[in-house]
Amino acid sequence: MKIRENVPLATLTTMRLGGPARFVIEIEEPDDIVEAFDFVHDKNLPFFILGGGANTLGHDEGFPGVVIINKMRGVRVDGDKVNAMGGEEWDKVVEKACEANLTGIEALSKIPGTAGAAPVQNIGAYGQDISQVLESVEVYDTLIDEFKTLKAEDLKFSYRKSILNSEEAGRYFVVALTLKLKEGQMERPFYNSLERYIEANNETDFSPKAIRRMVSAIRADKLPDPKEHASSGSFFKNVYLNDDEAKEAEAKGLPVYHGKDGNKINSGWLIEHAGLLGKTLHGMRVNEKAALVLINDSAKSYADLAAARQEIIDAVYEKYGYKLEQEPVEIVAA
């Protein structure tokens, strides 16, 4: 277990903003977890559990407690099940599953972050999400200082949401997860962007490896690598509508996608058509190829980000009447 002091949150998050965390502890094996939370309790400090920092924002004032980072690695494929340690890179988990010709997460290729973060916000893309394949998560319950197993139904999944980022946020440290996949392939029709890629490239192979290759190519073309360009991935959640709202939106000429997960309008479309594509606001640039992504070109503070965020929310609301919601979580004391 590694303990460091006064570590800038800007160095721990892919948006590269934020002042110092008082302490940072890196967890490398399960025994470290108990020791880390003993440290937290002994010093009576708040704590924040962090994965790869890809969907997380730091504040200018930093964090007055302990940031606990999951560094436990490892992936194992056993038949149709995939077991991954919480600190493993998510894309490595997808890669291993595809190598075993297992379908269920191939469309989630190249999503930055760790395996432990995947069930927290129920990551999803191109018609797949983690709730469809998660069997269980091994966790450390910080409320009672015990290890336990949570089943998928215990997490109360919904769009970009689980108990892990809502009513029980911060309570559970994800040690490992188990996915139940299956042999086979995704079934058409796919999401529009994937279908367009297939038609443009005359693709006929839809095996897990092939879909992974296609999705990786699409993401590489549209989404900046957070290692090269400071960003936190998709910054705003898509807008979900009930059936009546969807009909009303379509009557106004808005593009409503009717998918397995409900009716939605892509927030990136709303941002683009509000005239913000490629605009730089307070040092934050709206990505030219995927308006859901904000890139930190020259912002120096969380205040800059907050100002840019509000301008985008206001512009979309003024034009379309929808209030966008932020997707990344923020490192703040409970």
Nearest to 179 by CA among 113, 111, 120, 130: 130
User: Catalytic residue among 26, 109, 160, 285, which?
Assistant: 160
Collapsed DSSP state (helix, strand, coil) of residue 38: helix
d(CA 333, CA 23): 13
Instruction: Count the neighbouring beta carbons within 10 Å of the beta carbon of residue 274.
Output: 20
Query: Which residues, in sequence order, are bridge partners of residue 179?
Result: 82, 134
Q: Answer yes or no: 301 catalytic.
A: no
Nearest to 104 by CA among 181, 38, 39: 181
Q: Answer yes or no: 250 catalytic.
A: no
Q: Answer yes or no: 219 catalytic.
A: no
User: Catalytic residue among 195, 203, 311, 327, which?
Assistant: 327
- Left, alpha or beta for 147 (phi > 0: left; psi -120 to 50: alpha)? beta
User: Catalytic residue among 193, 234, 267, 285, which?
Assistant: 234
What residues contact residue 232 under an 8 Å CB cut-off, 6+ apart?
Answer: 13, 14, 15, 54, 55, 56, 57, 226, 294, 327, 328
Helix spans in the chain (H): 30-43, 90-99, 192-200, 208-222, 243-251, 267-271, 302-320
| Residues classed as catalytic | 160, 234, 327
